[in-house]
Structure 1
Amino acid sequence: MRRTLRYAAIWCGATVVAVSVSWFGVRGVLRNEFVDDVNVEPFLAQTIAADDNAPRVVPPPKPTQKPTPTPKPTSTPTPRRTTIKPTTSKTSAPTPRKPPKVITVKGGEVVFTLGPEGCRLVSATPVSGYTAKVARADGWIRVDLAKGGHGTGVFCISHEQRTDTWEY
């Protein structure tokens, strides 16, 4: 019995040493190949639990126009000659908005809007027991609906005007 345990201990030790040596030899190559050529920008992540009574993830609206300053009144008004002309209003047809894209997965529901300005997260609603984690960077938004170590990542990619899901 002792002989068997000794052989098992020696085999486990040799396996650990071999895996460690292999990892330290390969990790530099893997890091150079896959990590160095990717420009990762920092992003802000938010986490919301479904069981909490916390507000849902809703980004603040982006201003579309800068406010115009009000003109200052002059001290002496100058008389002007006014001519009444018929006015024609140039009303442009409203640009059709795409309806929001609703993605329903096992962990909850995520709603995006896709438009010429990119994608925008409308809401991320996890089901009971799941959490929603939002990550943003230029050109994409990722929402993870997770429970424990498993969940679904929902992506919105601005320049491709599409959404995608990924199970893990």
Structure 2
Amino acid sequence: MRNGLVQLGAWAAATGAAVALSWFGVHAVLVDAGFEQPSALPLPSATGGTPDDPSTGQVAVATVGEATQRPADPSSSPSPSPTPSSKPSPTAVRKASTATSVHSYLVPGGRVALDMKADRAELVSATPDSGWQMQVWQDTEWMRIDFSKGSSTNSVFVTWNGHPPDVQTVVR
């Protein structure tokens, strides 16, 4: 019995030393890596070009049938999107002309940040609101981000098939 306890004690001491050595080794490497804290991106309101005011806690949201057009390239014109009469009409949202190529879009249920390039768009982040689920579909020339809760689904569609990225939101 005594021999078993001695072996158990030796095993516990060796395991504890190995775990401590591993932890301190990984910790030292990670501390020296110098991780930067991510910075928050200002999110424009869906009805205007200014970020939401965090001091008031109010967030502007586009509703079905409410079309808002942000300033875009004057030479481009919005292309009509065919929608069956049984479906809600999409709200067209164009990228704002700012110095950064990252643009944020707000729909009920979540926020989407996209890196808009001349010939494509890349998903930076998609963050669902509390209680909402998020799903992303992506291909070489389009992207769809859905936020769903119960029977409600709100979507952000991005297409760039031979043209600059076009972003549309559908709020149902």
Q: Comparing both chains, which one has the higher relative contact order based on Cα–Cα distances under 8 Å and sequence gaps of 6 or more?
A: 1
Q: Which has the larger radius of gyration?
A: 1
TM-score by length of 1: 0.40
TM-score by length of 2: 0.39
